[in-house]
Amino acid sequence: MVTIISYIFWLFWVLFGVFSFAPAAFIFLFMRRESRKPWSIKIDHNFRPKISIVVPTYNESKIIDLKLANLRRLKYPADLAEIIVVDSNSDDGTVEAVKRFIESNPERNFRLLEETERKGKSYALNHALGDCKGDLVIVSDADCFWPSDILERAVPFLADATVGAVSGPKILLNTQETWITRMERDYLKSANALRLGESKAGSTVFFEGGFSAFKKNAIDKFDPYGTGSDDCGTVIHVIENNFRTILVPEAVFYSPFPASFRGKIDIKLRRANQLVRVFVKYLTSLAEGKVKGSKRTVIPNTLLYLFSPITFIVFAFLTALLLFSFPLLLMLFAFLIIPRIRFYFYEIFESNILLLMAIFGAVGGKKFSIWNQPEDRIWLKKETLSRLNLI
C-alpha cells in the first residue's frame, strides 16, 4: 500500500510539474519560431490618416511639460494630428501647466479636456474618445516618451484592413539602475519576442499603455468589459470585432521602471490583477464563439494565465513535501547556477505567485480602476531625455 501511494505521489508530482512549465515552454518556443517569419499583412509607408493622440493625466505637473515637449517633436503632418490631454481633476497645477504649454505652442493642435471628478484612466479615455476627430486614436501615458519617428514606423502597419490596433515595445530609461531594472530589461526582451510571434501568428493579446494605436472603427470604447486594463482590456474588443492586434517591433517607446523590489511588485501585482480579469473575459468570449481569427494566440494565453498558477502552486507544495522527505533532492536545483536558466525559473516562479494572488484578489472583488503614480517618476530627468533625443 505504501509503495502504491508513493508511485501515485511521484506521478502527481511529475504531472503537475509538466503542467506548470511545459505550456510556457511550448508557447515560448512556438512564438519565437513565428517571430522569425515575414509579415503576412500590407504595410504602406504612404498611409497618413488623421490621428488623435490622447494623454490621460492626474497630478502630473512635475513631468507634463516634458511629455508635451516630447509630443511636439513628432514627425507627422500637423494638419493631420491632434493631441488631447484629458485631466482627471488634478489638484497640483497640471491643468495650469498644460494651458501654458498650449498657449506657447500654437503651431501644434493641442487641446485640453477637464473632468470634474477622478473616475479612473479608462473613464478618462472614454471621455476623450467622444472628442477625437482622428481615424486613429493613439494613447500614451504621461510618463512614456516617444522617438520622433514612432508614428512613421507604426502607422504603416495600420494600412492593412485586417489590422485594428498596434502597440510597440517598451525600453527602460533606467535600465542599469539596479538588479531589478536589469532583470526587467531582460524580461521585456523575451516578452517582446513572444508578442512579435503572436502578432505574426494572428494577434497579440498584450498591449502597452505607453503606445497603443487603435482604429476608431475597431472600438466603441476603451475597456468596455471593465477589466481595469485600458490597453489589454480594449484589445479584447478589437479581437472580437475580428481585427488583428499586433506589436510593431520598430515602434519603441521609453519609460522608467521602479528600482526597488517593492515598487516592482506593486506594478506587477496590479498588472496581474488586470490580466486575470482580461483572460476571464477571453474565456467567456471563447465559450460564446466571439473569438474567431485569433484563437491560436488567445487560447494558449488564456490557459496559461488562468490555470498554470493553480497547477504551479500544487507542484510547489508537492515539491516541498519531497524535499522535506528527501533533502538530497536539493541537488536537482543545481541547474540554477546557470544564469539564463535561473532567470527564466525566477520569472516563472514570480509570475505564477503574482497571478495566483491576483486570482484570489479577483475572486474577492479586488479591482484597480483608479491609477496611481508609481515610484519611477524620479527617473524622468530632462538630462536623460535630452541625451536620448526625446525632447
Residue 380: all three cell numbers together: 524622468
Backbone angles phi, psi at 37, to 5 degrees: -80, 160
Cα–Cα distance, 18 to 362 (Å, whole number): 26
Cα–Cα distance, 381 to 59 (Å, whole number): 17
Q: Which of 104-113, 126-135, 302-311, 331-340 has the lowest mean pLDDT?
A: 331-340
Q: Is 294 exposed, middle or buried (0-12, 13-18, 19+ CB in 10 A)?
A: buried
The pLDDT of residue 150 is above 90? yes
**CB contact at 8 A, 63 and 143:** yes
Contacts of 5 (CB under 8 A, 6+ apart): none
Q: Which ranges of the chain would DSSP assign to H, the alpha helix?
A: 2-35, 64-72, 94-104, 121-129, 150-154, 179-201, 232-240, 261-287, 295-325, 339-363, 382-387
Cα–Cα distance, 291 to 157 (Å, whole number): 22
Backbone angles phi, psi at 131, to 5 degrees: -100, -10
Band of residue 368 on the pLDDT scale cut at 50, 70, 90: low
Q: What is the pLDDT of residue 199?
A: 96
Q: What is the pLDDT of residue 330?
A: 61
Q: What is the pLDDT of residue 1?
A: 56
The pLDDT of residue 125 is above 70? yes
**CB contact at 8 A, 194 and 200:** no
Which pLDDT tens digit goes with each residue over 94-106?
Answer: 999 999 999 999 8
Exposure string (b/e) for 9-31, b if CB count within 10 Å is 16 or more? Answer: eeeebeebbebbbebbeebeebb
What residues does 54 pair with on adjacent strands? 84, 139
Q: What is the pLDDT of residue 347?
A: 77
The pLDDT of residue 86 is above 60? yes
Q: What is the pLDDT of residue 252?
A: 96
Band of residue 175 on the pLDDT scale cut at 50, 70, 90: confident
Q: What is the pLDDT of residue 19?
A: 82
The pLDDT of residue 215 is above 60? yes
Q: Is 65 left (phi over 0), alpha (psi -120 to 50) or beta?
A: alpha
Q: What is the pTM of this model?
A: 0.88
For the segment 113-124, the average pLDDT, to the nearest whole number, is: 89
Could you give the angle at the alpha carbon of 246 between the alpha carbons of 31 and 66, nearest 5°? 120
In Å, what is the CA distance from 385 to each residue of 189, 253, 254, 380? 21, 12, 9, 7
In this structure, the strands spanning 51-57 and 136-139 are: parallel
Q: What is the pLDDT of residue 377?
A: 63
Which range of 47-51, 290-294, 353-357 scores highest in mean pLDDT? It is: 47-51
3-state DSSP assignment of residue 20: helix
Contacts of 354 (CB under 8 A, 6+ apart): 265, 268, 269, 272
Cell 495650469 -> residue: 96
CATH number of 16-391, picked from 3.90.550.10, 3.40.50.300, 3.30.300.30, 3.40.50.1100: 3.90.550.10
Task: Please name which of 172, 197, 196, 214 lies closest in space to residue 250, comparing C-alpha atoms.
Answer: 196
Task: Please name which of 169, 165, 167 lies closest in space to residue 136, comparing C-alpha atoms.
Answer: 165
The pLDDT of residue 343 is above 80? no
- The percentage of residues in the chain with a pLDDT greater than 90, rounded to a whole number, is 50
Which pLDDT tens digit goes with each residue over 277-305?
Answer: 999 999 999 999 999 888 889 998 998 88
The pLDDT of residue 336 is above 70? no
Task: Please name which of 211, 264, 260, 253 lies closest in space to residue 385, comparing C-alpha atoms.
Answer: 253
